[in-house]
Structure 1
């Protein structure tokens, strides 16, 4: 309640005005300031110029009454608590004015009684409650408007990024553009940087709106860390740095956490360490921390240590704040929006831990954070072994083989990295993200008489793990060679996997030359374009890969550039593509053609994608419907509408390759 309560008294009797004003002036707490008018016209005029906390309104004002005045205030959208004053009590009048919107009803004889002051206070309290409700509503509406704007902005930025990154990838793949490779790589890397900034901004908006949710699952910790080392080791090597990953205690075989968000935090910290370190070694330490009390969980501690430029002590308190960057860093032109550490802090908090930093300016920094790994009391403990160093040579592998390889791994980046190595040996590559998808791909390939010659199968995956997938493949009498890929290093594991029926075992991170040996063993070696001898020719003929089954694809996308790029990428895969720029065009096209796959943008000029999905299903329920959007789609709506999957813009060549490999 305010220190001085501003009251508008609407009263046509001067004696009653003085009586009311005299009583209110004697009050020490709260204090009142009265403005007096005698009719509704003057009341309305004053209310348009000034703001008041409360209105005292006489029931009879000459030819008017309080109900007429309340109607005038309501029609002019003036809202404030109004207490009606009348000469005598009348229950019917009481009921009428309350229905008309009055806050309360008093007789004038009660002005000098305690009830009058209580009524004033209650009216003010109700006013404050209503103001708080209105303010909350305004904040909610602003947040909704902000969320809608950010969703629209994300879509509008992702769509042109699809064209920028996609066409650059196509140009980089063309041999005749080798002279422009450096320039094209700069365009591509800056496009990826823009995408990273956009993702950070959208993540931060979700965090600020408390809408960012984690998806915990069981994670094989050794495999997770090995994959991380393989990915970030390449980035460190590009800058001439060494990346070490060290376990300071035996670590649990499995933990329960959101692997995507944990990976995001570690990649943020490692990317910063690489960015701000010019020479030396970056070390990642991991260990379990025993709780101080029995009721507390055992925690997992990570430390990222670099020997880079470091930070002044007086700047450390602000680095986890959104949009904060240290001035010396900004002057060094390292870029970024200053969101990575703020996002990391919020993600760590959601994973049940805390994040801290120690730094010495000019000598380096140590970022440490904990997470709750779930109940790991019964988990086997193992040493972390990363025997292989992460290497990458500039020259391509010299092995030249012919054959079809299915790469199965739940981590998209590792699928791509392995696929890149296999492609260097000229084998044809397909992908699957779990054991179920791998089984479907193998059976479909057998049915189409274009079987895979080798499956590289990760062991630890969601939905169906590698061992169960192998057993399922063998139950269907498929004799394709299946080689296990694992980061686990416990004694006897290799032999146990061979006993399960795997044809071979290779470790993570994948050694390129060990992989070459596997490819040479199970695929057909060729000396360049043609087999080297008659025996090789016969083997190549027996394992000949038939042309991929062409599929009919409909792209529903209102951005012409993005649609044409996706069309070009799919046509290169040997498929037939038609473009529709609106929902109406798409439905008309569906009436004339039958499609295998439909790629649908969610934001169209005449339809929302979810509404269009219903009409598409009514026309062609057998088609595989995939959302292509600038925003994360709603999983519940997708399942409800029978949408098979989603691609987030910008759509890359690898995204589409994976999509058709699973189709």
Structure 2
């Protein structure tokens, strides 16, 4: 545009000079020097424009400037011709027609160039006006877009400022382009170098915290791949305080950066650390408790073993003496020894049961069994002790009872025997009634007595371990208070419940109910039957019951008292008995004469070679003689181990003499039946 202005000024000057020269009608020689100067000026201006255009090929309005350059050269040529013609005016006007023709041509050429230049100038001005209008419109649109962008920026900023979390927008280089007020205020209060233009991602990468470096790596990944939001936790130190943040980075698109938001989670992290420490403490406490529980179980098992071994001799010898003793007073004393030995055994069983319950090692094994038979067996078991006190023991069915249901008869018998035993113990006179009822697939057993009753305050504590009511302790101080706690635990394991209904002076009703499905609907009983019950035998009738017990039995036992008891008991029954003190002697005796023994009674805890290894080695040699394991341990794991090594059956100490004879007889009958089947 500046070149155009220069050209216009020069054109005006040339036009003025032409008018002055044309006004001089005399074409005097005085104007010749001026024409030469004007020619020189036009040549300089035209040459300058030409040089400018040569050096600046990209100059605006290049065609117009080229016309101006040609115009100036033409003007200079005109004035040169005019100077030549006016140098000798008289000569020119009188005789030289050639000079006049040159002048005319130059004059009209200059006029034509001037016209062309003027038209080009008008065309250029029109384009310039159009260009200016276009630029004005573009400028208007740009300003409107800038206003809209600014409005959007202010709107976005206001939205960000309204958020309670720290929010920022970063570009693809990680530099902050928008930052909300919450983050700005936090940065100001905590001297955090976070502001617009600051490279926040690089700040994270330069932090010493591994978590912060991981956060930076996650944001860089979002900026690089433009997809996949990143969520990471990281910590930063502010003075002597470490603060934790949860950072989210969401990419905005290719090259558009990402939105970063973070929320402080320091309180949550402290809570998590506290909970972690608490969990560690609880876990350590649990392990210590389990270790203590295991140690207690081992201690109880060992003590049980050590106590059961002498109790076997005490109770067994008392039974043997009762067979021979005729004096009533001595018989009463022997019965006292036997009963207290049995009571001590029951206490040991209760302590072990509580230990197994606490260690979650108590097992419930449902099978098909008669609900009425369980109750009848308990009546048979407790009838003698009830009659000794003058208490009547009755069994009734409140509803028809199926002949078979699915439950654990051993555990139900244990609960029912405990309840009946308590009822007999605390009933001085009257009756104890055992009732059985069925509701759907639920079995309900009830034990009612005419005893002293229990107050409401004491009923709430009855099923706690080692707990007895004040009235109970005053009336009958025996017992450790474990029986009802065991009953409650067993009932709960069977998905049932147990409860008591009682009042002082009016007796008590203990009830327990549990699911026992499926029931056998093929046959029901309306009243109890004692046909399936085995009555208890008095010690002095055992010899008669086993008079044909002529088996050859090898007893492996290291305790002299137990050796004596088994030898006397079996010999009185008619058996031939050989005693071995350890497993090595058992192997020697069987190796010498394997056909001399019908049954082996194997104590599992013996010196030199214990019963487990002895049984295993006997089976390895091909010995098929039935072996009954005798052990003071009542743990289920040891029973299973006995069967695994090759024992045919298991009998715990102290053992019931009738159980011993029954197991031996059953094994021998099974063996004889198998032999007959093989020979046939």
Q: How has the CA–CA distance of structure 1 residues 107 and 638 changed in structure 2, closer, same or farther, with 3 Å as cutoff?
A: same
Cα displacement (A) at 1:177: 5.4
TM-score (norm 2): 0.55
Cα displacement (A) at 1:222: 3.6
| Native 8 Å contact 1:320 1:345 kept in 2 | yes
TM-score (norm 1): 0.56
Counterpart of 2:619 in structure 1 is 617
Q: Partners of 2:603 and 2:524 in 1: how far apart?
A: 47
For residues 180-579 of structure 1, what are the structure 2 equivalents within 5 Å?
180-290=330-440, 298-376=441-519, 378=521, 380-385=523-528, 414=534, 416-417=536-537, 423=541, 428-429=545-546, 549-555=550-556, 557-579=557-579
1:660 and 2:668 correspond? no
| Native 8 Å contact 2:391 2:430 kept in 1 | yes
Deviations 1:568-622 (A, max 9, x none): 2223334443434344454455544534433222233445543443223234622
Q: For structure 1, which segment, 106-115 or 237-246, has the greater mean C-alpha deviation from structure 2 after superposition? A: 106-115
Deviations 1:302-357 (A, max 9, x none): 22221111122211100111111112221223411111111111122222221111
Q: Partners of 1:89 and 1:311 in 2: how far apart?
A: 68
Secondary structure of the corresponding residue to residue 186 of structure 1: helix
Cα displacement (A) at 1:233: 3.7
Q: How has the CA–CA distance of structure 1 residues 240 and 127 changed in structure 2, closer, same or farther, with 3 Å as cutoff?
A: closer
Counterpart of 1:165 in structure 2 is 315
Q: How has the CA–CA distance of structure 1 residues 157 and 620 changed in structure 2, closer, same or farther, with 3 Å as cutoff?
A: farther
Cα displacement (A) at 1:162: 0.7
2:629 pairs, out of 627, 630, 633, with 627
Q: How has the CA–CA distance of structure 1 residues 333 and 323 changed in structure 2, closer, same or farther, with 3 Å as cutoff?
A: same
Which structure is larger by alpha-carbon Rg, 1 or 2? 2
Q: Partners of 2:337 and 2:320 in 1: how far apart?
A: 12
Q: For structure 1, which segment, 268-277 or 169-178, has the greater mean C-alpha deviation from structure 2 after superposition? A: 169-178
| Native 8 Å contact 1:269 1:304 kept in 2 | yes
Q: How has the CA–CA distance of structure 1 residues 90 and 654 changed in structure 2, closer, same or farther, with 3 Å as cutoff?
A: closer
Q: Partners of 2:403 and 2:576 in 1: how far apart?
A: 47
Q: Which has the higher contact order (CA 8 A, sep 6+)?
A: 1
Cα displacement (A) at 1:129: 4.6
| Native 8 Å contact 2:350 2:486 kept in 1 | yes
Q: How has the CA–CA distance of structure 1 residues 113 and 371 changed in structure 2, closer, same or farther, with 3 Å as cutoff?
A: closer
| Native 8 Å contact 1:218 1:257 kept in 2 | yes
| Native 8 Å contact 1:165 1:652 kept in 2 | no
Q: How has the CA–CA distance of structure 1 residues 122 and 199 changed in structure 2, closer, same or farther, with 3 Å as cutoff?
A: closer
Q: Partners of 2:382 and 2:465 in 1: how far apart?
A: 25
Secondary structure of the corresponding residue to residue 460 of structure 2: helix
Q: How has the CA–CA distance of structure 1 residues 133 and 249 changed in structure 2, closer, same or farther, with 3 Å as cutoff?
A: closer
Cα displacement (A) at 1:167: 0.8
1:645 pairs, out of 642, 649, 653, with 649
Q: How has the CA–CA distance of structure 1 residues 155 and 380 changed in structure 2, closer, same or farther, with 3 Å as cutoff?
A: same
The structure with more helix, counted as a fraction of residues: 2
Aligned CA RMSD, in angstroms, stands at 3.7
Secondary structure of the corresponding residue to residue 114 of structure 1: strand
Q: Partners of 1:89 and 1:255 in 2: how far apart?
A: 67
Q: Partners of 1:106 and 1:276 in 2: how far apart?
A: 70
Q: Partners of 1:651 and 1:227 in 2: how far apart?
A: 18
Counterpart of 1:440 in structure 2 is none
Counterpart of 2:243 in structure 1 is 114
| Native 8 Å contact 2:437 2:445 kept in 1 | yes
Q: Partners of 2:276 and 2:399 in 1: how far apart?
A: 61
Aligned length: 419
